[in-house]
A and B are shown apart, each in its own frame.
Chain A
């Protein structure tokens, strides 16, 4: 029971963090069709900006201003780089954002050094919210989850219930018609890209204070957010949420379970033989817990090629 509750809680919170980072990515892809490889770099920039700002002012200023700065950088990239290569097709956009990943990584190292910086949450956020089977549960983890939940609600309402959301969706589905109706479609795209970058920046500002802020953080999360978006269905916000939670919970449970192929053989009485083989057969699930998301992606792609909530199923 303890294992069940603790693992679920850990998994859900980690899933919410993944959702927070991938929300912007799925927004940008869903609305603009741009697969932004540099998305996790925005996440890293958010953390570093928040670190600098929290040193100059305080934690909350960092939390609010850092995403805005990241949004400005995002809009600059959209306006002066992506728009130029847009005419040449998706491959060029992909390559451009792929290159930006390396540039951001080395720039961060130039300005902040190679080592993790000391970005900490304020002491008054540093307490245990409850005690679970003798283990303190840090409040900040719950805080990350709450911010992510809030983000989902705001985005969802904005896109489906407001006029702004309607214009954005119209600009994506039928850009020419939207333009004919007097909407500035390039401006809408600029705004969407900025908002997507800001979301990544915000998640960096929040999560950077919990996980270390270091030059590799974009690399570490870069692949997994793509997995989230693919599993959830490209462009689907709700799909991303479900995929994030699935990945979070599955990874969390995988750590606690020492299952291996050998134990599977054990069920049919071949356990000793399987154990004697060694190698991959006896590799416990916990040792490959970080591959669980990829396994999930494989299965989803086989069964539902457009992702869980993808529109083209």
Chain B
């Protein structure tokens, strides 16, 4: 009744074809790599993000309207992302979700920052669910960027802590990583923690990203140093080919990895993968069955790889939405961002929240080992990820970087 009155009043006031007064719907843009070589990651992020939004919509949406989601394909490069960002901004997006590639993340977060300087009344929030570069939380940090994934030191420290507790780290550690921001962050983290976990970095190699077909020359180099373990931040082919090459040479080396849980890795590496470690932000073995089952029903598969991170990140965002109320009026993005700072979200392993200093999410890290006899075997094999230990977010997280100078809205 009251709305009818306002509508009637508005029509009378304008005396013409005034639009019916409608609540402003919340618009979310997923700017992801949905074609090109990074599709495997981009598609998973989009699937998981849409799953959370769908759930929020079945529970009544936001601001009296269903939340609108739109996918934008950045085709896997920064110029594509920049174009799609302009498109999304023109479409009136309030929130941008992105994750595959730190390079694209850097582009998106800068575009968001500039947009928000120019349009202080219509800011946009950037939800980063996969870009792990330290720089995004350092020099490039800003109030409207939220980082729900980890960084190199954030995962490396728990990984090596658990490997060392299990006696699999050894004294001689080999560092092999990809030659760009992520791989360099990894190498720094590996070198920096040598004293803490009492090992020696016998050799460190940076190689090109996803260009190398034949890793046997690297294996020859690894072998000559006779390491106990290899720590690597490699992902995709670079991890798979490296593991296979080491397996083919029959070297007895334990791998500590960050991205072992990428689909296809365990099946392709076969028995070679068994016993290797991975540090990830969640493990479905530890979760209540209902969540993964519901996810499988909606999407056709259990949450894997980057999906749990996305579910948790966008989940916290959805939780924050419950704490703001615009009564069907205009959406105030800054209020949503402030609510995100004050929201605690239960991700099934414990509470997660966002650190105010640099908007890095504080999430627990699970260190798992590839083993048989698990509840959720992967890739059609008998192997899966057996959780060894969960390290609390507060113990794993790196200190906020001094380079982050965040200007908060007044």
Asked if chains A and B come from one complex, the reply is yes
A289–B221 CB distance below 8 A: no
The interface bits of chain B over 250-284 (1 if a CB of A lies within 8 angstroms of the residue's CB, else 0) are 11000000000011110110100000000000000
- The 8 A CB mask of A274-313 against B (1 = contact, 0 = none) is 0000000000001111110000000000000000000000
Most chain B beta carbons < 10 A, residue from A128, A253, A254, A286: A286
* CB <8 Å contact, A116 and B240: yes
Task: Tell whether B191 is near chain A: CB-to-CB under 8 Å.
Answer: no
Q: CB-CB < 8 A to B379: which residues of A?
A: 118
Given contacts A6-B220, A10-B220, A109-B39, contact A287 B241 (CB under 8 A): no
Cβ–Cβ < 8 Å partners of B217 in chain A:
7, 10-11, 251-256, 289
Q: In the bound complex, what is the Cα–Cα distance between A113 and B220 (angstroms)?
A: 33
Known: A136-B250, A216-B210. A115 touches B263 (CB 8 A): yes
CB distance B240 to A128 under 8 Å? no
Interface size on B, as a range, is 35 or more
B250: chain A residues within 8 A (beta carbon): 128, 135-136
A151 part of interface (Cβ distance < 8 Å) = no
A211, A212, A289: the one contacting B208 at CB < 8 Å is A289
Residues 132-149 (chain A) with a chain B CB within 8 angstroms: 134-138, 140-141
For residue A273, which residues in chain B have a CB less than 8 angstroms away from its CB? none
Are the C-beta atoms of A14 and B220 separated by less than 8 Å? no
* A135 lies within 8 A of B249 (CB): yes
Answer yes or no: A155 CB below 8 A from chain B CBs.
no
Contact of B224 with A by CB under 8 A: yes
- Interchain CB contact under 8 A, A290 and B220: no
**Residues 213-263 of B contacting A (Cβ, < 8 Å):** 213-214, 216-221, 223-224, 236-237, 240-241, 244, 248-251, 262-263
Task: Please tell me the number of chain A residues within 8 Å of chain B, measured between CB atoms.
Answer: 48
Q: Are A10 and B214 in contact (CB-based, < 8 A)? A: yes
Q: How far is the CA of A136 from the CA of B247 in the complex (A)?
A: 9
A128 to B263, CA, bound (A): 28
Q: Which of A109, A117, A255 is B218 in contact with, Cβ under 8 Å?
A: A255
Contacts of A176 in B (CB 8 A): none
The residue in B37, B39, B214, B264 that gathers the most chain A C-beta atoms within 10 A of its C-beta is B214
- With beta carbons under 8 angstroms apart, the residue of B179, B268, B380 that contacts A212 is B268
Contact A291 B268 (CB under 8 A): no
The contact of A138 among B224, B237, B248, by CB within 8 Å, is B248
Is the CB–CB distance between B248 and A106 below 8 Å? Answer: no
Contact B237 A291 (CB under 8 A): no
Q: Does A214 contact B (CB under 8 A)?
A: yes
Residues of A within 8 A of B264 (CB): 115-118, 212, 214
If A10-B214, A118-B379 touch, does A212 touch B237 (CB 8 Å cutoff)? yes
| B27: Cβ under 8 A from any A Cβ | no
Report the Cα distance A214→B207, complex, angstroms. Answer: 21
Q: Which residues of chain B come closer than 8 Å to A219, judged between CB atoms?
A: 37
Task: List A contacts of B179 (CB < 8 A).
Answer: 287-288
Q: Do the beta carbons of B208 and A7 come within 8 Å of each other?
A: no
Tell me, yes or no, whether B40 is within 8 Å of chain A by CB: yes
Q: Is A3 an interface residue (CB 8 A)?
A: yes
Say whether A52 faces chain B, with CB atoms less than 8 Å apart.
Answer: no
In the assembled complex, the CB of A26 is this many whole angstroms from the nearest CB of chain B, namely 19
Residue A221, interface by CB 8 Å? yes
Minimum CB–CB distance from A12 to chain B (whole Å) comes to: 11
Are B210 and A288 in contact (CB-based, < 8 A)?
A: no
Q: Given A120-B270, A212-B268, are A7 and B220 also a contact pair (CB < 8 Å)?
A: yes
The docked-state distance in angstroms from the alpha carbon of A238 to that of B227 is: 41
B39: chain A residues at CB < 8 Å are 109, 114, 215
B224 & A3 in contact (Cβ 8 Å cutoff): yes
Within 8 Å of chain A (Cβ to Cβ): is B181? no
Q: Is the CB of B267 within 8 A of A118?
A: yes
Interface residues of B in 185-225 (CB under 8 A from A): 205-208, 210-214, 216-221, 223-224
State whether B241 touches A256 (Cβ < 8 A). no
- Considering residues B216, B240, B265, which has the most beta carbons from chain A within 10 angstroms of its beta carbon? B216
Task: Evaluate contact between A255 and B221: CB separation under 8 angstroms.
Answer: yes
Report the minimum CB–CB distance from B234 to chain A (whole Å): 13
Contacts A136-B249, A212-B237 given; indicate if A115 touches B262 (C-beta within 8 A). Answer: yes
| A189–chain B nearest beta-carbon distance, Å | 31
Q: Is B35 an interface position by the 8 A CB rule?
A: yes
Report B-chain residues with C-beta under 8 Å of the C-beta of A224: 213
- By the criterion CB–CB under 8 Å, are B212 and A114 in contact? no
Please report the C-alpha to C-alpha distance between residue A187 and residue B201 in the assembled complex, in whole angstroms: 61
Contact of B206 among A109, A120, A135, A287 (CB under 8 A): A287
Docked CA distance A128–B264 (Å): 24
- A7-B220, A11-B217, A128-B250 are known; give 16 further A-B pairs, CB within 8 A: A7-B217, A10-B220, A17-B214, A115-B262, A120-B270, A137-B249, A211-B241, A216-B210, A220-B210, A251-B217, A255-B220, A286-B206, A286-B207, A289-B208, A289-B212, A291-B208
Q: What residues of chain B have their CB less than 8 Å away from a CB belonging to chain A?
A: 35, 37, 39-40, 43, 179, 205-208, 210-214, 216-221, 223-224, 236-237, 240-241, 244, 248-251, 262-265, 267-268, 270, 379-380
Interface CB pairs A-B, < 8 A, 28? A2-B224, A6-B220, A10-B220, A13-B214, A115-B262, A115-B264, A118-B268, A128-B250, A135-B219, A135-B223, A135-B250, A136-B248, A137-B249, A141-B216, A211-B214, A212-B240, A212-B264, A216-B37, A219-B37, A220-B213, A251-B214, A251-B217, A254-B217, A255-B220, A286-B205, A286-B207, A289-B207, A289-B208
